[in-house]
Amino acid sequence: MHSPTGINASAVDRASGKTPISWEAACVDNVDGPVSIECIPPSGSEFNTGTTLVNCSCQDNAENVNQGSFPVTVSGLPPPALVQEPNSNDLTVTLPDMSSNVTAGNISEWVIVLRDERGTQLNITKQGNERSHEFQGLPGGNYTIMYIIYITGEHGHSSEQQEVTIPCAEPKSLDLSLTTFSRKAGLARVIASWTYSGLDGACRVLSQNITFQRIVRDGCDHQTGEVDSFVVDGETYEFSKRKLAAYSKYRVTLYLITEEAVYNISREIRTASTAPTGIPIVLEPQRRLGSRIFSWDALSCGQRNSDSIQYSYSLVSESGREWSGLRDQQNVRIWSVPPREGYTFKVKAVSPYGHSDYSEEKTGTF
């Protein structure tokens, strides 16, 4: 077997960062004469910078095998100088000192080659008098960087590759919006929709989870219900939860799960209701300076069907005189009442979703 003992070459201009190298190899058998030879990788292949071992073998008609190998070393220019602030997605690439390789003044232009883990390549061309370039807001992940310099009248010269890791940053934007409606008494639906940006590349979202938790407040016991959790397809940005309790407050939390971190955002919403609101309870009226003050209990959170509740009252005397109106407060003061005349008082709650029945009538004498 006749093959090189080793090959040394300089990297040349290749967008792929590889250099084609050829050689001659042969096998001659004492009986069969020349026989075919196979080398892996074969002559003419493209080699990365660094050292690659080439293995060759041949076989005569008697199935005698001869094997051999030799190294192919491709040397490049020094790798680029990289400046990266801690936890930053910005990266500055600078040409190193190449005084021992080329005369800097002879560089007409140079190209930075940036590749991510998926093989996506970005080429940035700089003029010879520009010595650096800043990448801003790179997506998180692992990258390889090299450069190619061009000298007038020569092939391009490639550098060694340099590896760098860009950390995953917080999402540039993350928003969650909630809407609710009810078409059946006692039940409601909440539709959650969300948007986000800045999570791509190696920092892309691998899965999404959304949770719903009922929160009991506003006059009721302070409790929280069980958490219902759902996995959402990665290409979906909306989720509809049915059969929630009407006019109840819920906390909705969205989780975005990446390879390195979990991001979340929460919103609260009170579900809609089509059920009528509860009925107020009238308290004993009070006498004060020729007037009567009628009061009633506020509705507890379990009786309400809206945050907006008003009260419609009606007072009728025995002689047929009537006082009525709509109040935000839970009382009304009636002046100029006829003394020693009987009356009937009642009140009902009113909300955007409808009103309650009137309360039990309160009767008495002015």
pTM reported for the whole predicted model: 0.52
Give the three-class secondary structure for 221. Answer: coil
CA-to-CA distance for 327 and 192, rounded, in angstroms? 35
Q: Is the pLDDT of residue 105 over 60?
A: no
133 C-beta neighbours (distance < 10 Å), count: 18
Compute the chain's Rg from CA coordinates: 41
Q: Is the pLDDT of residue 308 over 60?
A: yes
Residue among 5, 57, 64 nearest 29 (CA): 64
Per the structure block, which two tokens stand in for 307? 């945050």
Label each residue of 18-35 as H, E or C.
CEECCCCCEEEECCCEEE
Q: Please, which residues have CB within 8 angstroms of residue 25's CB and are 6 or more apart in sequence?
A: 1, 2, 3, 4, 37, 39, 43, 56
222-240 average pLDDT score: 86
pLDDT at 218: 46
Residue among 125, 130, 202 nearest 169 (CA): 202
217-237 average pLDDT score: 75
Higher pLDDT, 81 or 100: 81
